[in-house]
Amino acid sequence: AGVSARPARRATILVVEDETLVALDIEIAIEDAGMRVAGHAIRGSEAIALANAHRPDLALVDLQLLDGPTGITVAKHIITPGGMVVFVTANRSALPPDLAGACGVIGKPFTGAGLVAALRFLKLVLAHQPIATGPPQCLELGSSCESLSTPDAAAVHVQTQSNPPSRDPSIN
């Protein structure tokens, strides 16, 4: 009698974004990257409730939500119990240098292909898999994530700094 292998659990992602079309683009990219959407929130309070209920592996968080600039508060709530956050924002300059403890930031506008590449990279980080290359161009890693993503964090930091985020207006 053969033993069937259990399929690997797909990483779960909470989308915290108040713009519906952007959220849909993000959700499509999550599925394309082989991950699963855990929920979608448009307000900070909803995001915190969903994070508490579902304990996602990763949260993609916009800074400006329907209830105001609550993204950093949401991120700190998710990070505290050990969750991982990546900001997705057009306003990178509003983030503190340490990214408020987040793993990284994806600048808006982004391309669908760029977002899928960033999510696939983050999937490897979440799975503690070895990563042979630095992050994709659209993903800027924060100091809290650099050491998780590769044994040579200095090389990733250099690559991150030399590859500014994409400015493709196709997705905002």
DSSP 61-72: E-SSBTTBS-HH
Is the pLDDT reported for residue 94 higher than 50?
Answer: yes
Please classify residue 107 by burial: count the beta carbons closer than 10 Å to its beta carbon, then call 0-12 exposed, 13-18 middle and 19+ buried. buried
User: Residue 5's pLDDT band (boundaries 50, 70, 90)?
Assistant: low
Residues 6 or more apart whose CB falls under 8 angstroms from that of 47 comprise 14, 16, 41, 59, 61, 65, 74, 78
pTM tops 0.85, yes or no = no
Question: CA 95, CA 62: separation in Å to the nearest integer?
Answer: 11
Is the pLDDT reported for residue 1 higher than 70?
Answer: no
User: Residue 155's pLDDT band (boundaries 50, 70, 90)?
Assistant: very low
Mean per-residue pLDDT, 19-28:
97
SS3 state of residue 73: helix
Cis peptide before 135 (omega within 30 of 0): no
Helix (H) / strand (E) element for 106: namely strand 104-107
Question: CA 29, CA 69: separation in Å to the nearest integer?
Answer: 24
**Residue, of 11 and 165, whose pLDDT is higher:** 11
Question: CA 148, CA 127: separation in Å to the nearest integer?
Answer: 10
Is the pLDDT reported for residue 147 higher than 80?
Answer: no
